Amino acid sequence: MAAVSLGSLSLPPLKCRKVAVCCSYVNGSLRPITVSGNPPTFVSASGRRIVAVGDLHGDLSKTRRALEMAGVLSSDGQDLWIGGATVLVQLGDILDRGEDEIAILSLLRSLDIQAKSTGGAVFQVNGNHETMNVEGDFRYVDPGAFDECIDFLDYLDEYKGNWDDAFMGWIRATKWWKKKRTSESYWTRWNFLKRQQAVIARSSLLRPGGPLACELGRHSVVLKVDDWIFCHGGLLPHHVAYGLERMNKEVSFWMRDFSESNDSPAVPFIATRGYDSIVWNRLYSRDSADANKYNERIWCIDVGMSSGVLNSRPEVLEIVDDKARVISNQNDLAYMTEDSTPLRTVDECMVVKGTQNQPISSSNRLCIYTLNLLKMLYIVYPANYIVCIWSNLYK
């Protein structure tokens, strides 16, 4: 395969390696989903519907609403996958600002297992709040999330080290454990013992090599599904030159505390540190007024659905036949026009074209732009995350 270039940047030939087949059932004429990289980096899922979901920040109720709206989760409370061969991508920032973080992670893993049996898949991308917590930065942790860590450690003891069964079962057990908690406030300023216990519990789960950090280490920081690149923050040319699979491996090794030497692996700077790292980059959302230079191909999305953020109505992105639209409710009338205007929706949603900067939805956080650079389509939370379409770079 010939080398490719991005402007003046020369990139080496890609050598994708098939390491896994992600479904045991072929739905009709669809080929099985194939995955390269560990954690997943390159995914081939031709002909499938793709759904992208943004920041969830510990809000299990809004998570369920978003997934039901996307048509992948049953609405009967059984948490069953009904998406068939759909590919679901969650863009990170599950941690912080809400109290049901582990429950959401458990739900998504359970849905992935179910989805594979019907030809679908669930992928997760780590965001900056995942990397912050593995570094021990607990500034944005909700008190209820600290409680969840204490409960989860007690719950783990019942499974005697069987992590997979315990982790996937937590979504069913979490409601009972929340009821079991004492009605006393754990977070009075005099309850130093409970505070200390909570921090120790969270640290033991999320430190590099901890069980929950290892679970996060299964996820990518950048993911390519067919012609679509998903990442939290923003993809830049030097990230591509460094290597997408290399970044994923380094972050995963750091989270899992894997190292070829006796020393713990260093924090991967290019992916997790600095203003232009792949989980922190704000380049594409810094100045929405300058969106016209991107030729109407940037999608900026985060409705702040978590009650710990804006408590706004959930919205998700649907990609079918290389066309994207926003789903705002289960009876959404959004449609793609023939002239490829990115999106037009009902229910208080508007289109941003050219140099316009109009609000979309009541949360005033979903904006649409276009980027004339390798046909990229980005989904970005005003500070944090991006989904981009990259049509030809890896072909």
What amino acid occupies position 279?
Answer: V
One of 129, 219, 232, 239 is an active-site residue; which one?
129
Instruction: Write out the DSSP string of 164-199.
Output: HHHHHHHHHHHHHHHHHS-SS-TT-TT-HHHHHHHH
Give the Cα-Cα-Cα angle 106, 107, 109 (nearest 5 degrees). 65
Cα dihedral 373, 38, 248, 241 sign: negative
Alpha carbons 235 and 221: distance in angstroms, whole number = 10
Catalytic, 232? Answer no
CA-wise closest residue to 68 among 363, 361, 334, 328 = 328
Alpha helices in the chain (DSSP H): 60-69, 101-116, 128-134, 143-157, 163-180, 192-206, 211-216, 237-242, 244-256, 269-272
Alpha carbons 369 and 286: distance in angstroms, whole number = 13
Spatial neighbors of 117 by CB under 8 A, at least 6 apart, are 23, 24, 25
Burial of 207 (0-12, 13-18, 19+ CB in 10 A): middle
The pair of three-digit structure tokens given for residue 293, joined into one six-digit string: 């230079």
> Are residues 215 and 188 in contact, defined by beta-carbon separation less than 8 angstroms?
no
For residue 295, how many other CB atoms are within 10 A of its CB? 15
Residues catalogued as catalytic: 129
